Structure formats: structure tokens, C-alpha cells
Amino acid sequence: MSVLAWLRWLWRQLTSMRIALFLLFLLALASVPGSLFPQRGTAPAKVSQYIQAHPKAGPLLDRFHMFDVFASPWFAAIYLLLFISLAGCVIPRLVDYWNELRREPPVAPKNLSRLGVYESWISTAEPTGAVTEAALLWRKKGWRVRTGADYVSAERGYFREFGNLLFHLSLLVLLVAVGVGSSYGFRGTVIVREGYGFADNITQYDSFTPGRAYSVSSLPPFSFTLTKFHAAYQIGGMQAGAAREFHANVLVKSSPNAQAKSVRVEVNEPLRVDDVTVYLVGHGYSPEFTIRDSKGNVVWKDAAVFLPQDSNFTSNGVVKAPDSVPQLGLQGYFLPTVTSDFSMGPRSVFPAPNDPKVFLSAWQGDLGLDNGTPQSVYRLDTTKMKRLGIEELSPGQKWVLPKGQGVVEFTGYRQWAAFTLAHDPGKGWALVCAILAIAGLSMSLLIPRRRVWLRITQDAQGGNLCEVGGLAKTQAPGLPADVSRLVGLAKQIAPEVPSD
């Protein structure tokens, strides 16, 4: 078989319904591991934990992109093949549909009584005139008609195929919109403490993931300050501690010289400025400390972001004071409502700050900030440090470090809010495509395709036989109802003569 013939065979197979079915099953099956294994896109920390916990299976799964299913090449292969198959099927059908629209309804079959729904009656109306008038009445009801000498052919339901094509084409454009949106957009996250602000600049993001084609210099020049974060929790009952409300009050400036506007950002009401959408995605506590060295100089005075570990906001974090000599570091827990039961260690029992305490251990030595390797701001590297002691502090309390090494004062706490900033230029298109897809889908499934014919045959005795037959191309109910409606109209032109 020649190469061309082989390619043609391959193409016909790819665009067949059977392969479409197979690819659909494959797509569904391929999505399953994406829901069972942690995915890098949403929970990278969980992925590392999983690989560490499963030293044999972990790297193997990683090799097959099981932690990155939806961005993996084999998943892309499946949906790309599916869309090629779809395009290869839909484009010829577009041509067919166009030709069908230009054709007229077919001629009436010889024997109408063989059709699914059939009615007949005797009338004295004269065939040619009656047929033309009946055709006019039928056309008024939305049927496309063609008249012959003694028959009328009517057809309706052309929008069914239109809907089908619209749906499939919208899916194609939707895929393009999704791709363009992620390539030309970006996502970033930032944690902002109450009283502090954020300016939309690459250096201020905590994490930033641009699309392939996004250039960082296009970041719009807005900024905002978090004036207050408010959270309310359920007190008592089966769901005690569940969050009931949170919102962040921010002052937004769309450019450095613009007027500041006060905006409230909530879970379902993001801040939209300059094509970038800012979402409130999390919050926590940042205890404030003032650290003095052995000579009494203030070496650190700030609010340290502590990260929540559970739903009651048991938070842990770290303070690094590199300016003291020798360097000092703190690590420990902030508990908004401290538990009275320490059998499982320091824990919080309620997310609101009803009885806040910090539990700290102080370290002295070399923080390791000068050795060139980057460090996490939430981890203390204690390899070159020695522990000075541990202490429990309430707000306002001071801790005098042993041997006069300094003083740590827990001056208070404030909340922080985490924001995700996202820019997706394709999402408007994606929405339009999705809406068109639903419209097309509804049309393709709900509009019935029907053909109805009327024939008036002249009888020698003067009583003309009027026959109406209907054929449904789909299995939707309602053909008999349609036919009897048309019969009713036809009977207005060619009234029934009672048989003697």
C-alpha cells in the first residue's frame, strides 16, 4: 500500500467515531491519577512529602508524570489527538451542512402510508391551489417547504446540526483560549501583614509564575495597603471553630500618583484592578517581637509571619536577628487560644485570639545567612547554633535570655492576609466559548429533525384523497403532535368532507 493511501487510511481511522470514543475513554481514565496523587501545580509540598514517604514508588511515579498529570506530554497527546479527530470530523460536516442548507426538502415519497405517522381524509379541494396555500400556511409555522404539482414537502430542525457544529467548534476555540490565557498570563502570591502594603513589582511577590510569553515588565503599576483583616468563627456546636466570615480591608492605588480607594476583599469578591485580579486566599497571625542584644541595643523589631499548621491556627515560625553579635534566632509556636492539655505538645483549640501565647526556643550562633545558599524565611538552620533556652510568653511579657545574652519581648501580634494575583487574558474568550458550547449542545440534543409531506390525489368521483405523512430523523417524542398540527392547518385549506 502506498504511503499516501496508508496516510489516508490513518486519517480516516483517526476521524472515526470509534476512535473518538476510545480517546474519550482514555481522556477520562488519564484524569483519574491526577485526582488521586498530589499534583505539583496545586500542592508542591505534598508532592515532595509523598516522594520522601515512598522512596521506591515515588521517583518512578514522577518519571511517568503522575505528580504533574495535566501538564504532562502524554495527557497533552490524548487531548490533542482528540481535538485533531474532532476538527477532522467537524470541518467536512460544515461543508455538508452548507450544502444541505442550499438544497430543498426532498420530493414526497410515493407511498405516504408507509411512514411512521400517517393521516388521510377526503376533501373536495382542488389539488394545485390547495397545495400552494397549505404550503404557505406551513411555512408561516416555521417549516421549510417545497411545492410540487400535487404535494408539499416540509422539513424543519436545521438548527440541530448547526448546534452540533457550534458546540464542537466552540470546544476547539475554548482549548485555544485556555492555552493563550496561560501563556500570556501570570500567577503570583504574596503575604501582607496588617499595616503593610504591596506594590505590583516582581521583587515584592513571594512567588511568581509567569506564562511562557509573559514579560515581567508588563506588570501594571498598582499598589495596595492592608489596613485591617477581620475573621469571625463559629462558637460552639458541632462545627465550632469553622470560619464564618473573613474579609480584608485594603487601600488601593491604581498607579503611584492616583487617589487611594478603600476596597473590601473577600473570598467571592476579589479586587480587580488593571486586568489583574487579587484574591484573598488565606490568613494567619504574625506575633511582634522586640529583641535586644546583651548591650541593650534593639537588634530586631518587627512582626514575624507565622504559618498556621491546623484549623485552629496553631502557627509556627522563626525570627532571625542577624544584626546582633553573636547572631540570635528564635523558633516556636504562636497559639491564638492556648490549650490547657499539653499531652500532644503546644496546640491551639480555637482560631480566634482568645488567649494568645507564644512558645519559643532561643538560639545563638551563626544563622548561616552569609554562606551564599538561599534559606527559607520560615526555617531556622541550627547546625551552627546552640540553644539558649525555651520560654512561654503572653503578650507584653519579656524574656531575659540566660547569661545576659539579651532580652526578647513579645509586644503583641497582628494578622496577615495571603493574596493570589492572577492575570489571564484568555478567560473572557473561554467564557464566551463555554456559553456558545452550551447553546450549541442544547440545540443539537433538543431540536428534532422532521419531514412531513402532504399529497392531494384527485379522485375520479370528485372526492380528493388528502394524505399527510411524517418522518422523524431523531427519536424525540412529538412527531404525532407536529403532524396533527400540520394536518389541522391543511384541513383549513382542504376541509374534510364527511364520508357517506
Say how far apart CA 409 and CA 298 lie, in whole Å.
11
CA–CA separation, 194 vs 417, rounded Å?
8
Residues 6+ positions from 408 with CB-CB distance below 8 Å: 289, 290, 291, 330, 360, 362, 391, 393, 398, 399, 401
> Binding residue for other proteins (CB under 8 A) from 54, 140, 244, 264?
244
Q: Is 445 in the site for other proteins (CB under 8 A)?
A: yes
Q: Is 239 in the site for other proteins (CB under 8 A)?
A: yes
Contacts with other proteins, 69-98, as mask; x by CB under 8 A: xx----------------------------
Q: Which of 103, 475, 498, 499 binds other proteins (CB under 8 A)?
A: 475
Among 27, 51, 176, 180, binds other proteins (CB under 8 A): 27
Binds other proteins by CB under 8 A, chosen from 77, 202, 260, 267: 267
- Pick one of 441, 449, 491, 496: the residue that binds other proteins (CB under 8 A): 441
**Which of residues 36, 95, 149, 344 is near other proteins by CB under 8 A?**
36
Stretch that binds other proteins, among 208-216, 317-325, 438-446, 484-492 (CB under 8 A): 438-446
The correct pick among 14, 20, 176, 349 for binding other proteins (CB under 8 A) is 20
Q: Which is nearer to other proteins, 66 or 388 (CB)?
A: 66
- d(C-alpha 145, C-alpha 110), whole Å: 18
Strands of 11-150 (E only): list them. Answer: 117-123, 144-147
* Alpha helices in 55-105, H assignment, sequence order: 57-63, 73-102
Q: Is the peptide bond before 73 cis (omega within 30 degrees of 0)?
A: no
Q: How do beta strands 398-400 and 117-123 pair?
A: unpaired
Nearest residue (CB) to other proteins, 21 versus 57:
21
Other residues' Cβ atoms within 10 Å of the Cβ of residue 188: 21
Is residue 173 close enough to count as binding other proteins by CB under 8 A?
Answer: no
How is the beta sheet containing 261-266 ordered, strand by strand? 197-199, 223-233, 243-253, 261-266
Q: How far apart are CA 3 and CA 9, in angstroms?
A: 10
Q: How far is the CB of 331 from other proteins (least distance, A)?
A: 27
Please identify which residue in 72, 254, 290, 420 interacts with other proteins, judged by CB under 8 A: 420
| Ranges within 109-148 binding other proteins (CB under 8 A) | none
Q: How far apart are CA 282 and CA 419, in angstroms?
A: 7
Q: Give yes or no for residue 32 binding other proteins (CB under 8 A).
A: yes
CA 362 to chain centre: 45
Rounded CA separation 316/312 (Å): 12
Q: Nearer to other proteins by C-beta: 128 or 159?
A: 159
352 binds other proteins (CB under 8 A): no
Binding window for other proteins (CB under 8 A); candidates: 39-47, 110-118, 193-201, 348-356: 39-47
Residues 8, 10, 11, 21: which binds other proteins (CB under 8 A)?
21
- For position 53 contacting other proteins by CB under 8 A, the verdict is no
Using CA atoms, how far apart are residues 136 and 336, in angstroms rounded to an integer?
80
Of 257 and 268, the one with the shorter C-beta distance to other proteins is 268
CB 470 within 8 A of CB 483: yes
Local structure of 278: helix, strand or coil: strand
CB nearer to other proteins: pick between 438 and 465: 438
> For residue 404, what is the DSSP state?
G
Dist. CA 101–CA 97, nearest whole Å? 6
Tell me how far apart the terminal alpha carbons of the chain are, to the nearest angstrom: 72
Judge contact between 364 and 388, C-beta under 8 A: yes
Total of chain residues touching other proteins, rule CB under 8 A: 54
Residue 351 interacts with other proteins (CB under 8 A)? Answer: no
- Distance CA(304)–CA(84), nearest Å, equals 53
Footprint (CB under 8 A) of other proteins, residues 372-411: none
Q: Which of residues 133 and 161 has its CB atom nearest to other proteins in the complex?
A: 161
Shortest distance, CB of residue 390 to other proteins, whole angstroms?
33
Helix (H, G, I), strand (E, B) or coil at 363: strand
Q: Given its phi and psi angles, is residue 345 left (phi above 0), alpha (psi -120 to 50 degrees) or beta?
A: left
Quote the least distance from Cβ 66 to other proteins, whole Å: 13
**How many residues make up the chain in this entry?**
500
Question: Does 201 help bind other proteins (rule: CB under 8 A)?
Answer: no
Choose one: 103-111, 292-300, 350-358, 427-435; the region binding other proteins (CB under 8 A).
427-435
Residues that bind other proteins (CB under 8 A): 17-18, 20-21, 24-25, 27-28, 31-32, 34-36, 39, 41-42, 69-70, 178, 187, 234, 237-239, 242-246, 266-270, 277, 279, 281, 420, 422, 424, 427, 430-431, 434-435, 437-438, 441-442, 445-446, 475-477
